[in-house]
Structure 1
Amino acid sequence: MGTVMNDVANHAKHLLNQSGQPKRRAVPRVSPLLHQAEHEMIETGSGKIAVWHLLGARYADPPVLLVHGWEDDTSLWTPLIALLAERGRSVVAFDLPGHGHSEGDRCSLELAAEAILTLDRRFGPFAGAATHSFGGPAITRAMLDGLKLARVVLIAPPVAQARQFERAWRRYDVPEDLISAALALGHDEGRFFDLAAAAPHMQAEALFIHSADDAQCPANEGERAAKAWPGARFWGVDGFGHRALVQDDDIVATVAAWLDSSSAFTSR
């Protein structure tokens, strides 16, 4: 019996560790617009991260930071980069640790936050940030660790990391006893981040955007986090799933307006 319990515990630890290892694309992608940008590899505690700094006509203004989601890359931001460039805004985009052209094989929230803070020291202060999916809790973690932002957009953020892992494990048919053991271990070790619990400590003006048909990150959880974030606004849409939000012209226009001037936001 003891051997079986030890096997479950060992498999649970492995499952938790494996969940922090993103799968890379065979050929990393970069937003085509960033081929015009200054590109460099910047050292962080998890290795070098790939960074692109696109100067806008209003180059004296602080740049906007773009943070992609899990197993994604800067190509996600192509429509927003184009619109911000039209507005003359400078943009900093990067590949998270373990993603794209960045080094490493792991990407915890702590490593992501450390990368964001490294960029803030190099290019900041940032005027604001746009995030998608995993980028939302990553920027929130960075703000808990000292990042200062005037405004931030969180598009389809996962809120309760434990629930996110649980949903993912069930999608891959992980046995229930192993899921229970991994969740218990994760809670015991303090591995799970809850964006809604961190939200009351935030000071940036925040706009949450979530699609009602998002199966990966439920919209009701995003709304719960927005209600806990002082002064945050929640914009619920439908029909965009998880990723298409960042490709829609109206949503991208709203995000660009929010980042350029928070007073420009009008919900529909």
Structure 2
Amino acid sequence: MAPTAALVRTALNATSHLATAPPGRVAFELFRHPIRRSRVRRSERELHELAVTEELTVNGKRVRVYRWGDGRRPVLLVHGWQSRASRFAPYVRGLLDLGMSPIGFDAPGHGDSAGRTTTILEYRELIGRLAERHGPFEAVLAHSFGVCCAFLALAEGVPAGRLVAVAGVAEFGFLVEGFAATLGLNDRLEKDLARRIDRLLFPGVEAIWQRFDATHRPELVTAPILVVHDEQDDVVPLRQARLLHRAYGEPQLRLITTRGLGHRRVLTEPTVVDNVLAFLAEPLPAAPRALAAGG
């Protein structure tokens, strides 16, 4: 655990014995604010600068969108927490070679977009608006927090031919559990944080812990799915991928596990990139005859 996290953990837990509210507010603010903004890496810069950019606005926040290719066969790239669209640079060239057109965005509070915070519902709105503007998507490729956002969007009607989930979060509640474990929050603070998320981050939204789960109502996501997860992921444990596998099952969902790549390197490892591109290049399964005939 980093020294900063250790200091925050000690302060929050110590104060919680006196009054729940002040440390609860601190934990809530830490939860909803990305601690840092990722920069474009040197290895990503060339492809990043070749993108055509445009802007959208969500909840008053300016969002930067990146597009490559001629617009045919669009593939949406959905980054995770404290990340940015440029992290998908290893996939962009391969997607272009397959005749596909990658589209990515920096979520609010990330990359070159405005704002300081974002939510799964803002991701959901952005994915939907990009689908209206550039879709339907040939595929959606998501990483980490972006995975549960992508599942939500597809379950709520965004059209996509395939879904790739790398190191993904399946249970929305895991975000609280993982955050609390990282900072070593006690049970009282963890429960208080969950209440604040429900009441303050999503006021008026019902059943968020069920609705935002990627495993909720799996019959609503019918696209073929590839899940890639590292056995030693210390941010999002492998059991999240197992939950997806259990909910969707084979042959719809194919699970690939790696070892020694962790949570971030698994996204850019060349063998993972090759497997993802091969999955996207496969012919789509034929629709059932009755559906194909419109029956």
TM-score w.r.t. the length of structure 1 is 0.85
Counterpart amino acid of residue 242 in structure 2? E
Counterpart amino acid of residue 217 in structure 1? V
Distance in 2, Cα, partners of 1:70 & 1:60: 27
Per-residue deviation at 1:255?
0.8
The answer to whether residue 165 in structure 2 is matched with residue 154 in structure 1 is yes
Match of 1:92, SS state, is strand
Single out whichever of 17-26 and 237-246 deviates more from structure 2.
Answer: 17-26
Distance in 1, Cα, partners of 2:60 & 2:26: 20
Q: Which residue of structure 1 aligns with residue 5 of structure 2?
A: none
Within the candidate set 210, 216, 221, 1:197 is matched to 216
Within the candidate set 219, 227, 244, 1:225 is matched to 244
The answer to whether residue 102 in structure 2 is matched with residue 91 in structure 1 is yes
Distance in 2, Cα, partners of 1:133 & 1:35: 24
The answer to whether residue 61 in structure 2 is matched with residue 47 in structure 1 is yes
Within the candidate set 236, 253, 256, 2:274 is matched to 253
Aligned residues between the structures: 258
Within the candidate set 138, 142, 155, 1:131 is matched to 142
Match of 1:102, SS state, is coil
Distance in 2, Cα, partners of 1:9 & 1:15: 10
Per-residue deviation at 1:121?
1.4
Counterpart amino acid of residue 50 in structure 2? Q
- Indicate how the Cα distance of structure 1 residues 107 and 243 shifts in structure 2: closer, same or farther if over 3 A, else same: same
Single out whichever of 190-199 and 125-134 deviates more from structure 2.
Answer: 190-199
- Contact 1:211/1:241, CA 8 A, preserved across alignment: yes
Deviation string 1:58-110 (CA, Å, 9 cap, x unpaired) is: x3632111111110112311111121122232111111121111112111100
- What runs of 5+ residues in structure 2 fail to find an aligned partner? 1-15, 286-295
Distance in 1, Cα, partners of 2:66 & 2:17: 48
- Indicate how the Cα distance of structure 1 residues 222 and 26 shifts in structure 2: closer, same or farther if over 3 A, else same: closer
Single out whichever of 79-88 and 186-195 deviates more from structure 2.
Answer: 186-195
- Indicate how the Cα distance of structure 1 residues 27 and 77 shifts in structure 2: closer, same or farther if over 3 A, else same: closer
- After superposing on structure 2, the runs of 4+ consecutive aligned residues of structure 1 that deviate more than 6 Å are none
- What runs of 5+ residues in structure 1 fail to find an aligned partner? none
Per-residue deviation at 1:119?
1.1
Within the candidate set 152, 164, 179, 2:175 is matched to 164
Distance in 2, Cα, partners of 1:141 & 1:224: 15
Decide which structure has the larger Cα Rg and report it: 2
Query: What is the CA RMSD across the aligned residues, in angstroms?
Result: 2.6
Deviation string 1:169-223 (CA, Å, 9 cap, x unpaired) is: 2322333321132235546774433222243421111111111111111112212
Distance in 2, Cα, partners of 1:60 & 1:132: 22
The answer to whether residue 41 in structure 2 is matched with residue 22 in structure 1 is no
Q: Which residue of structure 2 aligns with residue 215 of structure 1?
A: 234
Match of 1:16, SS state, is helix
TM-score w.r.t. the length of structure 2 is 0.78
Counterpart amino acid of residue 8 in structure 1? T
- Contact 2:81/2:144, CA 8 A, preserved across alignment: yes
Counterpart amino acid of residue 34 in structure 2? P
Deviation string 1:219-263 (CA, Å, 9 cap, x unpaired) is: 122121122126212112211111111211111011112223256
- Contact 2:72/2:99, CA 8 A, preserved across alignment: no
The share of aligned pairs that are identical, in percent, is 25
